[in-house]
Structure 1
Amino acid sequence: MIDHLGINVTDFEKSKSFYDEAMAPLGASLLYMVPEQYTGGAKVGGYGRDRPVFWLSDSTDKPRSTQHVAFTARSRAEVDAFHAAALAAGGKDNGGPGLRPHYHPNYYGAFVFDPDGNNVEAVCHDPE
């Protein structure tokens, strides 16, 4: 039911580098940068598979709090690859790949903290 989601980041280039690496195993990439003439000079970019659905916004001048976002993985192998790529890109582990049966029997997820401390997850709901 979510059409798109955005988070504020304190260092756009550092976060962009992190998400470029972390999203690749999920088949997603940076698809669009909003021209700065429409953002008041802030950097705003959207990631997705076929259209931008996850947005980063430069928030160096705005207060922010950490957030949680979960990205759909098409397989458990994608969850594993996401976690490895996110750690290699500088993320901090917040729960390695594995089943989380307390959510439901097939909930297979992995969690990392991004450069701003946001809790980022990849999850697959398929049985294998």
Structure 2
Amino acid sequence: MFDHVKFGVRDFAASKAFYLEALKPLGVAVIAEGPPAYGVELSPEGKASLCLYQSEEKPAHLHLAFTAENRQQVDAFYRAALEAGGKDNGGPGLRPHYHANYYAAFVIDPDGHNIEVVCHMPAA
């Protein structure tokens, strides 16, 4: 649906490290980078990208949801995000109040943003 999302972060190095590790299970890597004021673009090859840049402004809280191809990627994201310093905001599991196959996990990133990875497919 989107080409890229760009938002400011308080600690560029910490946020870059967090997103690289947390989203590694989804195939995300650095595809472009400049100085912290310009930022870094992270993406799975050929897909929409997430761009972060250093900001002195306190950013408003965001809810970013990334698509997983399967439930194992959701589980791997959750583990990687916690190991990268994220805080639990809802472990991997079904959220049937959204729909029967909504399998997601949520973490809070270094700036307090709610980061979700969701798989809409039934279990394999």
2:44 and 2:86 map into 1 onto residues whose CA distance is 21
Indicate whether 1:50 and 2:73 are aligned.
no
Specify the alignment match of 1:5 in structure 2.
5
TM-superposed deviation, 1:26: 0.9
Residue 72 (structure 1) aligns with: 67
TM normalised by structure 1 equals 0.89
Structure 1 SS opposite 2:6: strand
Note the residue ranges of structure 1 that are not aligned, 5 or more in a row: none
- Deviations along 1:95-126, one digit per CA (max 9) or x if unpaired, are 00000011111000000000000000100001
Identity among equivalent positions (%) equals 52
User: Which residue in the other structure is 1:20 paired with?
Assistant: 20
Partners of 1:57 and 1:102 in 2: how far apart? 35
Aligned letter for 1:66? H
Count of residues in correspondence between the two structures: 122
Measured in 2, the distance between the counterparts of 1:96 and 1:114 equals: 14
Unaligned runs of 5+ in 2: none
Q: CA RMSD in A?
A: 1.3
CA contact (8 A) 1:7 1:67 kept: no
Verify: 1:59 aligned to 2:55, yes or no. Answer: yes
Deviation at 1:24, TM superposition (A): 0.5
Equivalent residues in 2 for 1:104-119, closer than 5 Å: 104-119=99-114
